[in-house]
């Protein structure tokens, strides 16, 4: 059974079709990347899976269960999303504790205090951050809270929308390490959207390259080592990212 | 030959309830007609350095320097009026995000023309010709059409090229580019930087490229200053970046994922070693 299965997925915003005919199968426990320029529709695919872009046709199923167009409580427990900008995705007037407890409250899960404390520890935050507001945290700490929020319901599948592009390189390294460790410990499946190819090389097993709403190529992440891509668009994207400087001298 | 820019012991501070906080602590460097990169994390004071050179630190912020001279002109004592003549005409700055730096209610053509007319008096026909020529130089197809567009009608990459056109049209001697591409896609990033690089080299200008991306700066600059907590921790030639010795620079370099990543975990900076921001 595949963790995420998209079949012939078309997504539109009003009259404009932004994604056309996307087919992806992500195996359970796999880390899969969606790569492309802005406007290529990669984030829109994540939004459709999460239910934030309801105008889609085709088939979306997560862990074997097809997703409808409506709000789906059960779905939220299987699949969660982490957004790009930690400065924009946390409620400015809610404490970390309130942000982390809310999904439990919505789903009617008890023992919230203990779960919040455990989750803070899992994402590497001290318990003294529990009753702080987002503005009292740094960018990296906020992204840790956002990841903790997504993990509160113990989902099997995580949708990551550029989780580190708003962060400094050194903080990016911390967050990438955290995501990698969590995946190993909890056996999560990741669908990661990014335009940073080295991040794909570090985090992912396979990648799909999108251009103008279509997938142009699906390749293993090891193709980034030598740039062995078939599609000319992928090759130009690879070249624009600087290629592999470690191999230039060969 | 005297250097284009001579900065000695530059300090920038802002008041806080705990007293004045220095964000740039005694920075010194000289710049010829070359490409200098300033690298650091957020809060390291790199953008404030760029602004201080143009004397753009507004009260309650305060800037002091033992010497801040551009082409032999002492900037610390220059009147505000003379300073305005210098800004744009001889030193100009490309800001981070075209979305916030272009005037939303002026057409692109009018904005570029304004940048030119502030410093030169020209006939209207000549102005139009110069604007179109400049847009050509930044590789905008169909510049006649683009001059009539408003900033919201152009893409991010195009907006940044328009910014560059605007900054280069008075033919400055020194260009300060503050994260010129961090709001752009990788594919457009390379184009914009290649363009800046080409224009800087053709016109023999000096360039200060401010960025948090070590690799990128190493690719486009001759010399690199690494800043941390308001101080320069390392200064080296771009080609020798991999030989950097300071633990902070080494930490930053190691933290970047590589195209051919084999490490299971990325090394993380131990922040306790430098009491940072």
- Which pLDDT tens digit goes with each residue over B77-111? 889 999 988 888 899 998 877 778 899 999 999 99
A162-187 residue pLDDT tens: 888 878 888 888 899 999 999 999 99
The percent of residues above 90 in pLDDT, for chain A, comes to 56
pLDDT band at B45, cuts 50/70/90?
A: confident
Please name each of the domains of chain B with its CATH number.
Answer: 5-271 (3.40.50.300)
Which residues in chain B touch residue A237, judged by CB atoms under 8 angstroms apart? 186-187
pLDDT at B274 over 70: no
pLDDT at B220 over 80: yes
Domain spans of chain A, in order of start: 2-88+157-247
- Nearest chain A residue to B248 by CA distance is A170
Over chain A, what is the mean pLDDT?
89
What is the nearest CA distance from B84 to chain A, expressed in angstroms?
Answer: 34
- Alpha-carbon separation of residue B229 from A11, A135, B232 (angstroms): 46, 21, 8
Q: What is the pLDDT of residue A246?
A: 66
Q: What is the pLDDT of residue A104?
A: 94
Which residues in chain A touch residue B156, judged by CB atoms under 8 angstroms apart? 38
- A236 vs B187: CB contact, 8 Å cut-off? yes
Which residues in chain A touch residue B213, judged by CB atoms under 8 angstroms apart? 169
Q: Chain B contact for A169, CB < 8 A?
A: yes
Across-strand partners of A5?
A25, A61
Q: What is the pLDDT of residue A160?
A: 94
Q: Which of B191, B261, B264 to mutate to test the interface with A (most CBs of A within 10 A)?
A: B261
- B186 vs A240: CB contact, 8 Å cut-off? yes
Q: What is the pLDDT of residue B97?
A: 77
Q: What is the pLDDT of residue A27?
A: 93
Q: What is the pLDDT of residue B261?
A: 80
A114-150 residue pLDDT tens: 999 999 998 888 888 999 999 888 888 899 999 999 9
From chain A residues 9-68, the ones with a CB under 8 A of any chain B CB are 37-38
Q: What is the pLDDT of residue B273?
A: 52
What is the nearest CA distance from B31 to chain A, expressed in angstroms?
Answer: 27
Rounded Cα distance between A185 and A133, Å, is 28
Q: What is the pLDDT of residue A72?
A: 82
HEC states along chain B? CCCCEEEEEEEEEEEECCEEEEEEEEEEEEECCCEEEEECCCCCCHHHHHHHHCCCCCCCCEEECCEEEECCEECCCCCHHHHHHHECCCEEEECCCHHHHCCCCCCHHHHHHHHHHCCCCCCHHHHHHHHHHHHHHCCCCCHHHHCCCCHHHCCHHHHHHHHHHHHHCCCCCEEEEECCCCCCCHHHHHHHHHHHHHHHHHHCCEEEEEECCHHHHHHHCCEEEEEECCEEEEEEEHHHHHHCCCHHHHHHHHHCCCCCCCCCCCCCCCHHHCCCC
Could you tell me which CATH class the domain A2-88+157-247 is placed in? alpha beta
User: Residue B251 is nearest to which of A170, A181, A247, comparing CB atoms?
Assistant: A170
Which residues in chain A touch residue B265, judged by CB atoms under 8 angstroms apart? 177, 180-181
């Amino acid at each position: 059974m595949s963790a995420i299965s998209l079949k012939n997925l078309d997504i539109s915003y009003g009259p404009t079709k932004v994604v056309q005919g996307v087919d992806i199968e992500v195996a359970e426990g796999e880390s899969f990347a969606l790569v492309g320029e802005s406007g290529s529709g990669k984030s829109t695919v994540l939004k459709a899976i999460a239910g934030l872009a309801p105008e889609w046709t085709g088939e979306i199923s997560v862990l074997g269960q097809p997703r409808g167009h409506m709000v789906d409580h059960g779905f939220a427990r299987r699949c969660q999303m982490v957004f790009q900008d930690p400065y924009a995705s946390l409620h400015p007037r809610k404490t970390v504790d309130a942000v982390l407890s809310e999904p439990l409250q919505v789903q009617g899960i008890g023992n919230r205090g203990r779960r919040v404390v455990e989750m803070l520890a899992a994402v590497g935050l001290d318990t003294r951050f529990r009753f702080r507001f987002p503005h009292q945290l740094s960018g990296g700490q906020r992204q840790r809270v956002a990841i903790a929020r997504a993990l509160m319901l113990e989902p099997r599948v995580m949708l990551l929308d550029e989780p580190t592009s708003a962060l400094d390189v050194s903080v990016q390294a911390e967050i990438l390490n955290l995501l990698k460790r969590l995946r190993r410990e909890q056996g999560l499946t990741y669908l990661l959207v990014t335009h940073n190819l080295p991040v794909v090389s570090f985090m992912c097993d396979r990648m799909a390259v999108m251009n103008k709403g279509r997938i142009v190529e699906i390749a293993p992440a090891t193709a980034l080592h030598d740039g062995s891509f078939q599609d000319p668009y992928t090759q130009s994207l690879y070249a624009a990212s600087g290629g592999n400087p470690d191999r230039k001298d060969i | 030959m005297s250097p284009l820019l001579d900065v000695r012991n530059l300090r920038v501070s802002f008041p806080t309830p705990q007293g004045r906080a220095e964000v740039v602590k005694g920075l010194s460097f000289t710049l010829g007609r070359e490409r200098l990169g300033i690298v650091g994390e957020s809060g390291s004071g790199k953008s404030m350095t760029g602004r201080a050179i143009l004397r753009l630190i507004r009260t309650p912020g305060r800037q002091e320097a033992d010497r801040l001279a551009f082409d032999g002109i002492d900037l610390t004592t220059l009147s505000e009026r003379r300073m305005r003549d210098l800004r744009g005409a001889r030193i100009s700055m490309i800001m981070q995000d075209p979305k916030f730096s272009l005037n939303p209610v002026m057409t692109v053509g009018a904005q570029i023309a304004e940048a030119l007319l502030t410093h030169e008096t020209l006939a209207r026909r000549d102005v139009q010709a110069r604007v179109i020529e400049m847009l050509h130089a930044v590789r905008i197809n169909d510049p006649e059409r683009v001059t009539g567009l408003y900033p919201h009608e152009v893409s991010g990459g195009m907006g940044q090229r328009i910014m560059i056109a605007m900054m280069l049209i008075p033919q400055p001697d020194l260009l300060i580019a503050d994260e010129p591409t961090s709001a752009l896609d990788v594919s457009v990033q390379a184009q914009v930087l290649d363009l800046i690089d080409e224009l800087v080299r053709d016109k023999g200008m000096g360039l200060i490229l401010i960025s948090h991306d070590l690799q990128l700066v190493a690719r486009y600059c001759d010399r690199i200053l690494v800043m941390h907590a308001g101080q320069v921790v390392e200064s080296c030639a771009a080609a020798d970046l991999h030989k950097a010795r300071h633990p902070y620079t080494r930490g930053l370099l190691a933290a970047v994922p590589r195209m051919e990543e084999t490490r299971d975990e990325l090394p993380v900076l131990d922040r306790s070693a430098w009491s940072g921001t």
